[in-house]
Chain A
């Protein structure tokens, strides 16, 4: 009860201190805002070395001539997309609108975009070696125009556009050619059964009735693992803040962690003021034990720090459109353990500093050095060289970032073990700091 009385008083003092509000709540938001607006779209995203093939899919599909009634219509554009996505070193990006694709190419943001027209499936289905069919094959591969498809090219990036087009050609051949062979052989089998059997015996390594490349070559079908078709995310609807941009998944936790340790200043000032104005003497003259006084001091710091962490994560979601990931409840132990270590460090500085100026100088220096070393200051630890990333693990900040990264930047599949490990290390930092502060803190400064 005595501890709570002390804690309540300190909480009241902290909440009435405009410096605390500015340092702990306003400054991190301002940092996130400024960096969020000024950083490019690639910040916070994994560098992706794969070739990006952008497509616009206007294909309306076509009824399968071989299927029983009621079967799904053919969507050859989807087959092409799947084949592309399964190709090593390639990632497929679907742009929903043709106008958007034209604008991207015109602005030089895409070298080429493959467009499937509304009749693409119909034309592919009608492609045949037989009389009356559409023959899309020509000297360079597949004549896209005959299949109601074409490529938008940026004339300033012709090399890149040619590479993308060639990739598209190979895929088209892999899709169209087996269909044409399979269809033709099916017709032969219908009309000249024995001949078909002879032909099949002459080409034992091929299934001439297969309509896919894998079936034709008697190879195993590719699994869909790793096939990735991403939808292009436009920037216009996110506003000037670029709400929901990936960079906020990195910036918000980085500055939440960095400013958690600014608690050092607030708590240091509180302690020094208590000494300077003589109220510490009154506390010591009251029937309070040393642990009670320290607990009374630690509790409000901890509550303030947890409040700060939760506030910034909530603000990150509401203001910057940040996602809390698929395991949002795991954020709570990360906030708690980060606060524990920040509180310990704050107490340690308070134990060593004798004046408000010392708190300001040593505290700020310490917080900024640790923030720089850990990678908080630059927003993303991934920007640091590998050896520095290892070195940064001597700071509690880095462990907090590791945990946040798992939960926020890797939301689909966070490694809970890493999160737990980080929380344990953070708690360990906190306890060590508190023990050091306990041994250094002098309450009996009466002379």
Chain B
């Protein structure tokens, strides 16, 4: 088929190049049509490797289609459409172009069958996403974007170094399962894990994502971390270390989410927590676990985007997004509030919402493998999700104290995007079979068993009961304007201190060396200047005496020559004459 020869990534990346030439509704229709085109191409592609090229003796594969890459490509395409719909009214081509290049390159990463094309798309992804952070055009966003790109370039370098060693060892660019065993695999693992915001390489995420525009953060939340999850499923399934990292990630960020004041930063920590569930699943590595990871990534992309859309709507309509500054918005934004509640129920894995049918697979997989402690941690983390994403986000935004703000609902396109995403969240929770059919392995799992529904309801509702008691008693964590220390402190404070120490010590050495060199050079040049001047005077005076100059005239001539010699203002002709005569005199002695 014709369509099989077009890399899906190029449709979006090349398509983005035409944005500056279009205006108004034509531009909007065009942008919405791009992901639809990708979807048509994707659906028509059978499994196999397409768009293969030979490059320097290596095979490049731009279109690897199997069950795993197809399901990720599908959800990324779906998310591209929803994200564009949400950002449709934004009058900023920079944002549209970087969003399309970003989503296109993520598709490139997912479809890449070799390491070289993977790496190229990986770096395009890092650069284009930086522009989505910069798009806010504030000083804070510029600084955060700078830190973001520095961290991602470092991760990219680790990946590149790993790839070079890997190719050296295996003599092929193609990749599949790698597993942690050699230096090359560790370097690749670190590069990919950084993009998955794996602790301790996570600080860029809560640092940068809350700095995007109301619409750009929606894109950011969906692609980078989940493309890294995709790669980890493909290359490092069953790596026990991922279970440990995942267990830390499901727990530590929820404490930060409880404390954080900025709603979008709460959601960023919550994003890390959800990716933690996925990493745990990859670490377990059984078919049920990996199916669960893919299903959870699928559902998570949608409900997390929905929550970021609701937060973005609030930010756009009120200009505020901190718990201390907003509250009581349900009065004038009831639809946004409703959509946010759907997102909250989904992320909390409430029965009949999408998170329930996906997260439970990972939790069940941990139980099946009899990893009791991990299972307890996952259940604990589940109640943590109820707290920050299920209750805190909607409660402090739309209910809680009345901030007095009476903002209108966002424009229709934003409501439509939220409505469609909310519909999918409920749809997947109720009618989950189509999603299960897309998963990489055959599914033999039933989420809606009596025990599971009752157990989950008890867990969630008694968590909510605890919240009710805590908030009524006034013991619940108060909203406070604050920053909470995280790992970015290392490069924001300690790094700066390190810089200052280096500045003080190394620049002192610089100063001393400079003085020594300059004094030496001055001495040398002074010596030669004096030497040449006196030599020139000696010959010139003798010449002038021979020519008959005397007294004042001779004194004037001497003075003039001396000045010209010391200031370097000697006419070139005279200089040449002096030099040549000097050579002649030397020559005459020989």
- Co-complex (A, B): no
Q: CB within 8 Å of B: which residues of A?
A: none
